[in-house]
Amino acid sequence: MVCRLGHEDEPLERMRHSCAHVMADAVRRLYPSAKITIGPVIEDGFFYDFDYPAGFTPEDLKKIEAEMAKIVKENLPFESKEIGKKEALKFFKDQGENYKLEIINGIEGETVTFYTHGKFTDLCKGPHVAKTGDIKAFKLLKVSGAYWRGDEKNAMLQRIYGTAFTSKKDLDAYLKRLEEAEKRDHRKLGQELELFEINPDIGGGLILWLPKGATVRQIIEHFLQKELTAAGYGWVNTPHLGRAALWETSGHLEFFKENMYAPMEVEGQTYYIKPMNCPFHIEIYHSRRRSYRELPVRLAEFGTVYRFERSGVLHGLTRVRGFTQDDAHIFCTPEQVETEINDCFALVLKVLRAFGLTEFKAYVATKPEKAVGRDADWEKATKALKGAVELHKIPYEMDEGGGAFYGPKIDLKIKDALGRFWQLSTIQFDFNLPERFQIGYQAADGHSHRPFMVHRALLGSFERFFGILIEHYAGAFPVWLAPVQAVLLTISDNQSEYAQKVCDRLRRAGFRAEMDGRNEKLGLKIREAQLKKIPYMLVIGDKEMQEEKIAVRGRTEGDLGAMSLEDFINRCLGPWSSVHGPRSMGGTP
């Protein structure tokens, strides 16, 4: 059975759907003991899961791919047939395909659909291309383990991933992107550049920020702190755990408990480590009576939270168990909603552009069938979100009915250097928590009213954002973000004292500078600095020392010649500081 992605009516997805069937046929021909399960079309390709305890090797994939080519050359027609479930069960029982029996028993109705090409028949709704010969360029990519139905209590299956395109040119371009993505993998670069570490003795999904990675994080935090303070946010700090009563009021124990860590008992009270910062911010707002004259209230925090994720889905920095959000909550009156959302969305765009992220796509999610809150509030909030996206001329799609039960939202995706889209920023209304916590403000009419509440994150989490930045820049951060901006390279021990003085002068000027005074060949030092992706290499020999100069090599510019230290500093600290970063929300030069 091939599960449908929802786009198979598009020619490319239909071809990939058919290619998954051809792959299952090839596996059946080569490895008759392998049992077939399901294989959906996914973004950029497809996969199929097999019960094959021996496991597939890279050499097996080559054989399967060659067999697929034979099936494609046979130009077999895809034929569909609707049959009764009883007959379908007998068919697969006779073949010993017990997974198919389980699938059929879970299908409603009295009939199912088979698709057949040649001697291979699969349980499938279709559609497919007309013949196997319509499948053009394809490639099997890798094999991994996967539990049946995603449940670790079930059997471990072998998952083979593949892709298909309408031309070899498109396939080659895709494979080249994959190769580049592998080079940029933040997990690989994180180790090579000594940015972060995940230590199994500490626990999966828990990040150790090493000095260089922590330096980049501090730069990001400092930049955000300045901009959020200028935008009128008040800074708060909240505990890492709270009493069970807090999470009962918020609803987390009812709706989110499976993602929370086990409780702890302290002096007869039950506490939970926080999975979110929202309840704490609400209690801060609720700590005293509020007047409409005080609103909007904007509360910001770099808040660390912990959520349980199964080990199988953990992935470097992008899927973790402990992470720090650039979290904020806005409490405002209905009259302030439009302005607040516009300003918030403008802040999102300016911050992301400052980090060199310039291509966006937004998704505005509207009211689902089951929701809390008044219709008028949903309409006002949705209108404000849509208006902000249109005001800033960002391409967007309406996700009708895709909002959370507690409010509509904007999800903003960014495109990285490889053309991949990443979900980052979110602006989310919440009509649920203000009711649960009974927060209010005294309006001009003298009565208490419920404020509009907005959750917003500009970067999402520092961990995930840092992982995306590493891959976007392939570890070669712009100068203002680089953990080491310049390294002093001596040719011999004779220049050590002078080089140290230069290094100290650079540090006083605000540079993150280091010195490499090892008794090694200059070529080796330069190569190592390049591998560390340091923006500037400042070479000092006897001539540079005598003339009180430095020979400058840029990471991208190459040899920039000899210059005085002051000229180098002025070059880097020009109208826009490549060293210190954006002075304001003006972004990159």
β-strands 41-42, 409-415: how paired?
unpaired
Task: Report how far residue 121's alpha carbon sits from residue 111's, in angstroms, rounded to the nearest whole number.
Answer: 16
Tokens 């920020």 locate to 209
Catalytic residue, chosen from 128, 298, 386, 409, is 409
Asked if 154 and 51 count as a contact pair (C-beta separation under 8 A), the reply is no
Q: Is the C-alpha dihedral spanning 459, 461, 466, 472 positive or negative?
A: negative
- Closest by CA position to 21, among listed 102, 171, 169, 125: 125
**3-state DSSP percent of the chain in helix, strand and coil, to 5:** 40, 30, 35
Q: At 557, which amino acid appears? A: E
Asked if 370 and 391 count as a contact pair (C-beta separation under 8 A), the reply is no
Task: Report how far residue 365's alpha carbon sits from residue 413's, in angstroms, rounded to the nearest whole number.
Answer: 14
Catalytic residue, chosen from 14, 186, 329, 464, is 329
Does the annotation mark 86 as catalytic?
Answer: no
Does the annotation mark 447 as catalytic?
Answer: no
Sequence-distant (6+) residues with CB within 8 A of 151 are none
SS3 of 522-564: the string is HHHHHHHHHHCCCCEEEEECHHHHHHCEEEEEECCCEEEEEEE
Does the annotation mark 455 as catalytic?
Answer: yes
Q: In degrees rounded to 5, what are phi and psi of residue 308?
A: -75, 125
3-class DSSP assignment, residue 113: strand
Q: In degrees rounded to 5, what are phi and psi of residue 352?
A: -65, -40
- Closest by CA position to 29, among listed 2, 80, 65, 57: 65
Does the annotation mark 572 as catalytic?
Answer: no
3-class DSSP assignment, residue 399: strand
Asked if 157 and 145 count as a contact pair (C-beta separation under 8 A), the reply is yes
Task: Report how far residue 454's alpha carbon sits from residue 331's, in angstroms, rounded to the nearest whole number.
Answer: 7
Q: In degrees rounded to 5, what are phi and psi of residue 276?
A: -150, 160
Q: At 575, which amino acid appears? A: P
Task: Report how far residue 557's alpha carbon sits from residue 535's, in angstroms, rounded to the nearest whole number.
Answer: 9
Does the annotation mark 325 as catalytic?
Answer: yes
Task: Report how far residue 8's alpha carbon sits from residue 125's, in angstroms, rounded to the nearest whole number.
Answer: 11
Task: Report how far residue 48's alpha carbon sits from residue 148's, in angstroms, rounded to the nearest whole number.
Answer: 11
Does the annotation mark 21 as catalytic?
Answer: no
Catalytic residue, chosen from 28, 217, 307, 321, is 307
Task: Report how far residue 320's alpha carbon sits from residue 326's, in angstroms, rounded to the nearest whole number.
Answer: 16
Paired residues of 461 in beta bridges: 325
Does the annotation mark 485 as catalytic?
Answer: no
Catalytic residue, chosen from 450, 455, 512, 553, is 455
Q: Is the C-alpha dihedral spanning 28, 30, 34, 36 positive or negative?
A: negative
Catalytic residue, chosen from 124, 278, 503, 572, is 278
Sequence-distant (6+) residues with CB within 8 A of 493 are 517, 519
Catalytic residue, chosen from 325, 336, 428, 495, is 325
Task: Give catalytic residue positions.
Answer: 278, 307, 325, 327, 329, 409, 455
